[in-house]
A and B are shown apart, each in its own frame.
Chain A
Amino acid sequence: MGAIEAPDLSLAALTPLLFVFGAAAVGVLVEAFAPRDSRHPVQVVIALVGMVGAFVSTLLLAGTREVTAAGALAVDGAALFLQATIAGLGALSVLLFAERSLDPARSAFVASAAVPAGSARDAELATSEHVQTEIYPLASFAVAGMMLFTAANDLLVMFIALEVLSLPLYLMAGMARRRRLLSQEAAVKYFLLGAFASAFFLYGLALVYGATGSVRLSEIREAVSVSGTGGLLVLGLGLLIVGLMFKASVAPFHTWTPDVYQGAPTAVTAFMGAATKVAAFGAILRLLYVAFGTADWTWRPLVYGLAIVSMLVGAVLGLTQTDVKRMLAYSSIAHAGFLLTGVIGLGPGGTGSGLSATMFYLLAYGLTTLGAFAVVTLVREGDGEATHLSQWAGLAQRSPLTAALMTFFLLALAGIPLTSGFTGKFAVFRAAIEDGAWPLVVVAVLASAIAAFFYLRLVVLMYFSDAAPDGPTVGVAGLPTTTVLAVTAAATLVLGVVPGAVLDIAESAAVLVG
Chain B
Amino acid sequence: MTLTYYLVLAAVLFTIGTVGVLVRRNAIVVFMCIELMLNSVNLTLVTFARSTGTIDGQIIALFVMVVAAAEVVVGLAIIMSIYRTRSSASVDDVNLLKY
A199 and B37 form a contact (CB under 8 A) = yes
Scan residues 162-210 of chain A and give those whose CB is less than 8 A from a CB of chain B: 163, 167, 170-171, 174, 180-182, 184-189, 191-192, 195-196, 199, 202-203, 205-207, 209-210
B8: CB under 8 A from chain A? no
| CB-based contact B81/A192 at 8 Å | no
| A167/B71 contact (C-beta < 8 A), A184-B85, A186-B97, A209-B45 known | yes
Q: Is the C-beta of A217 less than 8 angstroms from some C-beta in chain B?
A: no
Cα–Cα distance between A379 and B44 once the two chains are bound (Å)? 51
Evaluate contact between B79 and A210: CB separation under 8 angstroms: no
Q: For the complex, give the distance between the alpha carbons of A229 and B67 in Å.
A: 30
CB contact list, A295-349 vs B, under 8 A: 320
B67 near A181 with CB under 8 A, answer no
Q: State in angstroms the CA–CA spacing of A388 and B41 once bound together.
A: 43
User: Once the chains bind, are A209 and B84 in contact (CB under 8 Å)?
Assistant: no
The answer on a CB contact under 8 Å between A171 and B74 is: yes
Q: Which of B8-56 contact A (CB under 8 A)?
A: 14, 17, 21, 27, 30-31, 34, 37-38, 40-41, 44-45, 47-48, 51-54, 56
Does the CB pair A214–B77 fall under 8 Å? no
Residues A207 and B44 in contact, CB atoms below 8 Å apart: yes
Cα-based distance from A199 to B63 in the complex (angstroms)? 13
Bin the interface of chain A by size.
Answer: 35 or more
The stretch of A77-85, A109-117, A397-405 that contacts the partner chain: A109-117
Q: Are A259 and B98 in contact (CB under 8 A)?
A: yes
Docked-complex contact B52 and A184, CB < 8 angstroms: no
The total number of A-B Cβ pairs within 8 Å is 124
Taking CB atoms, residues of chain B closer than 8 Å to A213 are 52-54
Complex Cα spacing A203 to B13, Å:
12
Q: Contacts A117-B85, A182-B97, A192-B34; is A187 near B64 (CB within 8 Å)?
A: no
- Whether the pair A259, B31 counts as a contact (CB closer than 8 A) is no
In the complex formed, the residue of A with least CB distance to B36 is: A199
Do B85 and A118 have beta carbons less than 8 Å apart?
yes
The answer, yes or no, to whether A407 is at the interface (CB within 8 Å) is: no
Residue of A nearest to B83 (CB): A116
* Interface members, chain A 226-282 (any B CB < 8 Å): 258-259, 262-263
Question: A263 and B45 in contact (CB under 8 A), knowing A117-B85, A181-B85, A195-B71?
Answer: no
Q: Is A486 an interface residue (CB 8 A)?
A: no
Given A113-B81, A206-B44, A167-B70 contact (CB < 8 Å): yes
A160-B63, A202-B38 in contact; A174/B52 too (CB < 8 A)? Answer: no
A-B contact pairs, 21 of them (CB 8 A): A114-B81, A159-B63, A159-B64, A163-B71, A167-B70, A171-B77, A171-B78, A182-B97, A184-B81, A184-B85, A185-B82, A187-B81, A195-B34, A195-B71, A195-B75, A196-B37, A203-B37, A205-B60, A210-B47, A210-B48, A263-B96
Given A116-B85, A192-B75, A206-B44, 14 new contacts (CB under 8 A)? A118-B85, A156-B60, A159-B63, A159-B67, A163-B67, A167-B71, A191-B79, A202-B38, A209-B45, A210-B51, A213-B53, A214-B56, A215-B56, A259-B98
